[in-house]
Amino acid sequence: MFVKLTKNLILEWFGVFTAILYSMLIALNIGAEFLGFLLLLISAMSIAVWAYRNGFRGILLLQVFYGSAGLIGMVRWF
Q: Please give the chain's pLDDT, 78 residues, in tens.
A: 788 889 999 999 999 999 999 999 999 999 999 999 999 999 999 999 999 999 999 999 999 999 999 999 999 988
Long-range own/partner contacts, residues 6-12 (CB < 8 A, 24 or more apart): 7/53, 8/50, 8/53, 8/54, 11/46, 11/47, 11/49, 11/50, 11/53, 12/46, 12/47, 12/50
What's this model's pTM, rounded to 2 decimal places? 0.92
